[in-house]
């Protein structure tokens, strides 16, 4: 299905969350913007993640630094709606969201999420053409598709590009070879820990990727104020939390890494989200003043990440944000596969012990392979990336 011949196609992007998944979809949507410059692009997203697409006051209006990629942002709040199904206000909000989608008369909807709820939203938009993966995350999603696409590539970003190519098959002829997600460290002096698992993958040629993220002056100012209040100059970001327990590396090891980086002249800030306060405080206390815990909204996190010299953390949204912004990343992997979910391109070190097995179940127990990655290995990788020599 090629929309290149249509004068101004109206395209709805469906990727509700979460942070890392939205970031992984940005290159595919950016490709659509390049290939179909006259297209009207809308994106339906969970309200809590809308700042990844726009920090402007309104969801409509011209593109700008505050809304660099899409023309329209449609927000939903599916979690709150499910919790209050019997409330009249809930159904008023649902009806308003559906009406907002239908008013745009989208020609096609692309479901990058592959869940029942995302495919159902595509159906509710009344877009006559609805495209999703032939093997979505939830098989019932295919009930709502008019067209299905076989995912191409190993990394999720490559797979998303293959979905977008279904309506814009004329990908740019000037292709760039992107370093494979499993690459250990870009620095030639670095050494791979002998116990690390490196998953080989065939080289792939994909369209040049970019991650158009908003820039908000208010968020920039808040970030500067927070850093100044804590006396932080150059810094690394540590993110000890993760989506579930199996992806979490121990807090005391993050603290040890912070102490080592501080000895090299680089302080750390600890980023944490709701429910991770105790974890962040444990790292802060164990660091002995080398790290400070800071919580912030999505816009402020983007602003702070832009200023960071280094990021250290697991398979989380903030890690993918740092990679998208070109910040050197030390990524700690356990039950998830870095070949599919690792930091894409850029200056990075991906650590995964050979004993870790790829699992999709959200287990609370720490992954035993992840626990075998030592603080010394992480410190060595970090020093290689920021150019510190001992």
Q: Give the tens place of pLDDT for each residue, 299-335.
A: 999 999 999 999 999 999 999 999 999 999 999 999 9
Q: Which pLDDT value is given to residue 385? A: 95
Do 10-169 and 217-386 show the same overall fold? yes
pLDDT beyond 60 at 196: no
DSSP one-letter string for 107-172:
SEEEESS--HHHHHHHHHTT-SEEEEESS-SSGGGGGG-SEEE---SSSHHHHHHHHHTTT-----
**pLDDT value, residue 345:** 79
> What is the DSSP-derived secondary structure letter of residue 50?
G
CA distance 35 to 10: 14
Tens-place pLDDT, residues 333-349: 999 999 999 999 778 99
Average pLDDT over residues 6-23: 93
CA distance 7 to 152: 28
Share of the chain above pLDDT 70, in %: 87
| CATH for the stretch 217-386 | 3.40.50.2000
- Would you say 232 and 261 are in contact if contact means Cβ atoms under 8 Å apart? no
For residue 185, what pLDDT band results from cuts at 50, 70 and 90? very low
What six digits make up the tokens of 76? 């939903």
326: left (phi over 0), alpha (psi -120 to 50) or beta: left
The helix (H) or strand (E) run that includes residue 282 is: helix 277-287
Query: Are the C-beta atoms of 43 and 53 separated by less than 8 Å?
Result: yes
Q: What confidence tens digit (pLDDT) does each residue in 263-285 have?
A: 999 999 999 988 899 999 999 99
Instruction: Give phi and psi for 386, each to the nearest 5.
Output: -95, 0
> Residue 232's closest CA among 318, 292, 302, 301?
292
Which pairing describes strands 348-352 and 175-177: parallel, antiparallel, or unpaired? Answer: unpaired
Average pLDDT, whole number, for the chain?
A: 88
Per the CB < 8 A criterion, the answer to whether 162 and 153 are in contact is: yes
Residue range 10-169, CATH number: 3.40.50.2000
Q: What is the DSSP track for 24-39?
A: HHHHHHHHHHHH-TT-
* pLDDT score at 178: 39
Indicate the pLDDT class of residue 197, thresholds 50, 70 and 90.
Answer: very low
- Residues sharing a CB contact under 8 Å with residue 251, sequence separation 6 or more, in sequence order: 240, 279, 282, 283, 286
In this prediction, residue 179 has a pLDDT band, given cuts at 50, 70 and 90, of very low
Mean pLDDT value of segment 104-110? 98
CA 107 to chain centre: 27
pLDDT: is 56 or 205 the higher one?
Answer: 56
Q: Pick the more confident residue, 206 or 108.
A: 108
Residues constituting the chain: 390
Burial of 210 (0-12, 13-18, 19+ CB in 10 A): middle
CA 341 to chain centre: 9
pLDDT band at 65 (very low <50, low <70, confident <90, very high): very high
Q: What is the pLDDT at residue 7?
A: 72
pLDDT at 237: 98
Q: How would residue 245 be classed by pLDDT, with cut points 50, 70 and 90? A: confident
Two tokens, residue 3: 């929309």
Q: Which alpha helices (H) appear in 288-374, and where do they start and end?
A: 298-307, 317-324, 338-341, 368-371
Element (H, E) at 223: helix 217-229
- Per-domain residue ranges of the chain: 10-169, 217-386
pLDDT at 390: 42
Beta strand 267-271 pairing with 235-239: parallel
pLDDT higher than 70, residue 228: yes
Task: Tell me the CB-side half-sphere exposure of residue 152, using CA atoms within 13 A.
Answer: 13
Which pLDDT belongs to residue 59? 62
Beta strands in 175-300 (DSSP E): 175-177, 205-207, 235-239, 267-271, 291-294
Given a cut of 50, is residue 162 above it in pLDDT? yes
pLDDT tens digits for range 68-103: 999 999 999 999 999 999 999 999 999 999 999 999
pLDDT band at 243 (very low <50, low <70, confident <90, very high): confident
The pairing of beta strand 10-14 with beta strand 40-46 = parallel
């Amino acid at each position: 299905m090629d929309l290149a011949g249509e004068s101004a196609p109206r395209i709805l992007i469906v990727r509700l969350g979460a942070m890392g998944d939205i970031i992984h979809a940005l290159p595919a949507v950016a490709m659509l913007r390049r290939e179909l410059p006259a297209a009207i692009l809308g994106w339906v997203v969970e309200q809590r993640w809308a700042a990844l697409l726009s920090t402007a006051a309104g969801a409509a209006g011209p593109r700008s630094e505050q809304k660099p990629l899409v023309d329209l942002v449609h927000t939903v709040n599916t979690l709150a709606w499910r919790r209050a199904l019997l409330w009249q206000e809930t159904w008023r909000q649902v009806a308003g969201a559906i009406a907002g989608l239908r008013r745009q008369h989208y020609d096609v909807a692309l479901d990058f999420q592959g869940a029942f709820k995302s495919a159902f939203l595509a159906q509710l938009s009344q877009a006559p053409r609805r495209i999703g993966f032939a093997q979505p995350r939830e098989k019932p999603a295919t009930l709502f598709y008019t067209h299905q696409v076989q995912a191409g590539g190993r990394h999720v970003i490559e797979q998303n590009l293959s979905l977008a190519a279904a309506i814009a098959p004329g990908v740019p002829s000037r292709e760039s070879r992107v370093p494979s997600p499993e690459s250990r460290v870009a620095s030639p002096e670095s050494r791979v820990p002998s116990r690390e698992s490196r998953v080989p993958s065939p080289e792939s040629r994909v369209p040049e990727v970019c991650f158009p993220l908003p820039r908000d002056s208010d968020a920039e100012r808040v970030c500067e104020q927070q850093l100044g209040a804590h006396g932080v100059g150059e810094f690394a970001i540590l993110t000890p939390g993760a989506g579930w327990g199996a992806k979490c590396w121990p807090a005391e090891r993050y603290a040890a890494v912070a102490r080592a980086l501080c000895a090299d002249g680089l302080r750390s800030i600890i980023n944490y989200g709701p429910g991770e306060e105790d974890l962040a405080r444990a790292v802060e206390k164990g660091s002995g003043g080398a790290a400070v815990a800071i919580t912030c909204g999505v816009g402020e996190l983007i602003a702070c990440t832009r200023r960071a010299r280094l990021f250290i953390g697991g398979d989380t949204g903030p890690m993918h944000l740092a990679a998208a912004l070109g910040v050197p990343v030390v990524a700690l992997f356990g039950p998830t596969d870095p070949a599919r979910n690792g930091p894409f391109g850029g200056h990075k070190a991906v650590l995964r012990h050979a004993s870790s097995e790829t699992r999709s179940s959200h287990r609370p127990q720490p992954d035993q392979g992840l626990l075998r990655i030592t603080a010394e290995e992480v410190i060595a990788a970090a020093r290689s990336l920021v150019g510190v020599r001992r």
